Structure 1
Amino acid sequence: METAMRVERKLTPYDRATSPYLEVPFEVRPGTPSVEVRLAYDRARGVVDLGCLGAAGFRGWSGGARSRFVIAADSATPGYLPGELEPGVWSVVLGLHRVPADGADVVVEIDVPATGPAEMEPAPPPAPQRPPRRPLPADAGLTWVACDFHAHTLHSDGSLGRAQLAALAAEVGLDVLAVTDHNTVSHHDGLGKIGAGYGVTLVPGQEVTTDRGHANAFGEIPWVDFRKPPQTWVSHVAEHGGLLSINHPLAADCAWHHVLTQHPPLAEIWHWTWLDTRWSGPLAWWNAWGWDTIPIGGSDFHSPEQGRALGVPVTWVAVEWSPSDGVTPPFELVLDGLRAGRTAVAQRRDAPVLLRVDDEFVALGADGTVLVDVEGRRRVVRGEVARFPAAPGPHRLETPDAAVVAITG
């Protein structure tokens, strides 16, 4: 075994102020079968993210979730791209996310070839019995499908493999789930086949993640370089036929701070952190950002142990598809529905919902709630199915004590 490099360094707040990313270069010679990288530091005192650039570009990212990765021709640690190791100068990329005032001692070890195998995803579980679809009224040629646009796997900081996540999505009755691992595309390969095995459309996504805000990029698009200015994220995703969404714009330490001259088309207005929906912050942000922003929701699911459910909240999207066309709609049709603004967001799959159908608002399962328009005018909803003339701009359903139960753009 040839040890390519061992680097010991004390990282300081000055290093982070100079650049939030530090590259540790190393050489890969022709014919190298694999590479292994190990990172060590006191995780109780800081957060140092981990990733890799090959001589030809991106090879993976695991953020703060891992301290080791392996890349080989036929396998790679989740979060990293397998494939031939092109000769040339590679780099371990360290993200200086949290550096204590007195610094952090960091050790990076690189072995060429690797001393051990890459971690693998768990075996696929059996397909569960899924609940029947909820029939919702829709315009001719359209079907409302239940979606969650934010979830993670072992390819970043989630605890489940992709097949395990797909099985859980089927179990809770989702039709569509976006797999949005942080700053990587290693999870994209095979998503279509995995989803088909569980009767769920898995949308390829990537959560472009920085300490000044996160954004989900939906579609089979090349890796988005999160180190570049955020305006380039918008143009890169659009140029490759995808859709970009601002994530949890008001969420704790990962709220949206980036300045954009061109807004992306979507925003995660309803995130799982909106626990008390009487708090009007997300709606106020939406109003300030612009009503032309299409609303979606996301559970930001990571692990069953966290106690928050997949599919809560749920986003309903009207797609040009019928169950008679196949088990699930192609993800491209789901993106078309998002692009057209045919969305409605609710607390969960079986909760009250507010839909735009044939120039009307249709409130379902919402008896006793209040329909609120963009000017704050209110109309009481009566009955299990209530219809109102549609009007431009966001509308919502509230309880009498002003808790939001459903929104539509």
Structure 2
Amino acid sequence: MPADPAHPTNPARRDLLRTGLTTGAATALGLAATAATAGTASATPGQGPDSRTLTLTGHLPTGAPDFVYLPLEVPDGVREIAVSYTYDKPPVPAGTPGNSCDIGIFDERGTDLGGDGFRGWSGGFRSEFALSRGAATPGYLPGPINPGTWHIALGPYQVAPQGLDYRVQVTLRFGEPGPDFSPHYPPERARGRGRAWYRGDCHLHTVYSDGRRLPEEVAAGAREAGLDFIVSTDHNTSSSHAVWGPLAGPDLLIIAGEEITTRNGHWLALGLEPGRFVDWRYRSRDEEYPRFVRQVHRSGGLVVPAHPYCPYVACQWKFGYEQADAVEVWNGPWTYDDESAVDTWDAQLAAALRGGNGNGANGNRGDGNRGRSWLPAMGNSDAHSAPQVIGSPHNVVLAEDLTRDAVLDGLRAGRSWLAESAVVELDLTATGNGRQAGIGEELTVPANAPVDVRLTVSGVPGGTVRLITDEGQLHQESLPAAGSGTVVWRTTASLAAYVRAEVRHPKADGTPGQGNSMGADLPWGPMAALTNPIVLRTEDR
């Protein structure tokens, strides 16, 4: 999607995402290089006693395996492996994908899916990398350079009709291995306020995948945005986990994670055991996704499909939502695909909560959902580089304290709402029959007892409040120019299985928008805040 011409400083989010797609060449597990790839290896003349350089070349035809593994024999005494690569980019007709090829490396432990051999991935973001016992290029894992058969992994993300010619140069440098790398993982606790609402962005990238911000710049941006926590989600690698420790602090909780970029959609693994990576080399039809869902759930983490309606190749979500813990319905600046994601999510709420009993069609969800029948919504910035804004949007989570487990528990339970920025404040409650419930909670009342829904909001000048149930929008009200106000609306549990709130900015023409608009523009103004539902249950069910 091109940048908004009316806001030239606004990043072209989808263009930046497309640039980063090659970092996520994630597909079905490929085959090792064979004669079909016409691969060859040669030594480079003029090598010294302290190094040896090999050049691997080959041709990949259209329809090549998702991953091609080039074997590399590593002898004793190697202290560093340095790799660079190029591939041809022949002209193609308009509308035809051109060549795009990613790269990574696996050590002597092998290339098995989910195995221990992973040593790094940079997708298409870098043309060279190096790794040794004590250091590695961002995206790669420092560690022993053991002798054996290593593999350079090529990911031909797109192959032109002419095919793809590649050239990989590998330099093995010999010598003493040097000291071990010392990881500095972030602590799992920060100085909290006890049970309170905490703000956090759960989808962020750094130079350790396809971002252009250093981790210290991301941490500084999070603090500037008024966030209490962030999750590190670099594409297809755990390499950044080990550098966040010194950047966390009493005022900022940093949680380890990963964005897993398959050919059938991207998903966030939030709350990983630091240093553990989640494999991405599969498609929906391979039926490997549940295996990695279980891996994340065993660590207490969350599985969150990301930007499910992103229009670019391999971004649309194809794995279903049954095993997810939440879904990212708002990704960066508000666009059409966010509208689609919210609409789909709302339809799922209605199906899961129909009849007000909380046990709808999706009542038995995956093993990470712990009995909750409905899928919470999340919003994250997916910020890669300036001028993308860290924390726009972010999640405001009711947690018992500012700890990894408490924050994940709050997100898993849907005790959260989504905010454009820390300027926006919001409170939503439902009260009836002497009881009260808040966001992500249930209110059980007699079927026809009055239920008063109360929304207090600030920070959205001239905004529009929408109260939405399983029947759709049932109340709309405008906020004053100052941006603060309280809206009260009455319903019953017999009429509404749930109620949730949206707060929208005015449209570009200054109008609040209408739900039945058929114009070319979005039917409503951009989102400023979005809540998870309050579930209404009847006592006789």
Q: CA deviation at 1:2?
A: 3.8
Q: CA deviation at 1:340?
A: 2.1
Per-residue Cα deviation, 1:51-81 (whole angstroms, up to 9, x for no partner): 1111231111111111111111110000011
Paired residue for 1:325? Answer: none
Partners of 2:475 and 2:489 within 8 A in 1: no
Q: Relative to 1, partners in 2 of residues 1:378 and 1:76: Cα closer, same or farther, differing over 3 Å?
A: same
Aligned pairs, number: 371
Helix, strand or coil for the counterpart of 1:83? coil
Unaligned runs of 5+ in 2: 1-49, 91-97, 110-116, 176-192, 283-287, 353-373, 431-435, 439-453, 505-511, 514-523, 533-541
Paired residue for 1:396? Answer: 501
Divergent runs of 4+, >6 A: none
Letter in 1 for 2:502: L
Paired residue for 1:408? Answer: 531
Helix, strand or coil for the counterpart of 2:319? coil
In 2, distance between residues paired with 1:210 and 1:319? Answer: 31
Paired residue for 1:319? Answer: 399
Paired residue for 1:379? Answer: 475
Paired residue for 2:278? Answer: 224
In 1, distance between residues paired with 2:498 and 2:163? Answer: 50
Partners of 2:272 and 2:296 within 8 A in 1: no
Q: How do 1:1-400 and structure 2 match up within 5 A?
A: 1-3=50-52, 5-15=54-64, 19-42=65-88, 45-56=98-109, 57-113=117-173, 142-196=195-249, 199-221=251-273, 222-228=276-282, 229-253=288-312, 254-260=314-320, 262-272=322-332, 274-275=334-335, 280-289=339-348, 292-304=374-386, 307-321=387-401, 329-351=402-424, 353=426, 355=428, 358-360=436-438, 362-365=455-458, 368-381=464-477, 384-386=485-487, 393=498, 395-399=500-504, 400=512
In 2, distance between residues paired with 1:392 and 1:64? Answer: 47
Larger Rg: 2
Helix, strand or coil for the counterpart of 1:150? strand
Q: CA deviation at 1:251?
A: 0.6
Per the normalisation by structure 2, the TM-score is: 0.63
Q: CA deviation at 1:195?
A: 1.7
C-alpha root-mean-square deviation of aligned residues, in Å? 2.7
Q: CA deviation at 1:203?
A: 1.6
Q: CA deviation at 1:285?
A: 2.0
Q: Relative to 1, partners in 2 of residues 1:389 and 1:107: Cα closer, same or farther, differing over 3 Å?
A: farther
Paired residue for 1:127? Answer: none
Letter in 1 for 2:136: A
In 1, distance between residues paired with 2:429 and 2:123? Answer: 40
Per-residue Cα deviation, 1:335-375 (whole angstroms, up to 9, x for no partner): 12112221101222213545458514533126752322231
In 2, distance between residues paired with 1:114 and 1:170? Answer: 43
Partners of 1:372 and 1:398 within 8 A in 2: no
Per-residue Cα deviation, 1:92-133 (whole angstroms, up to 9, x for no partner): 111111211111211011111289xxxxxxxxxxxxxxxxxx
Letter in 2 for 1:90: W
In 2, distance between residues paired with 1:289 and 1:211? Answer: 24
In 2, distance between residues paired with 1:153 and 1:26? Answer: 29
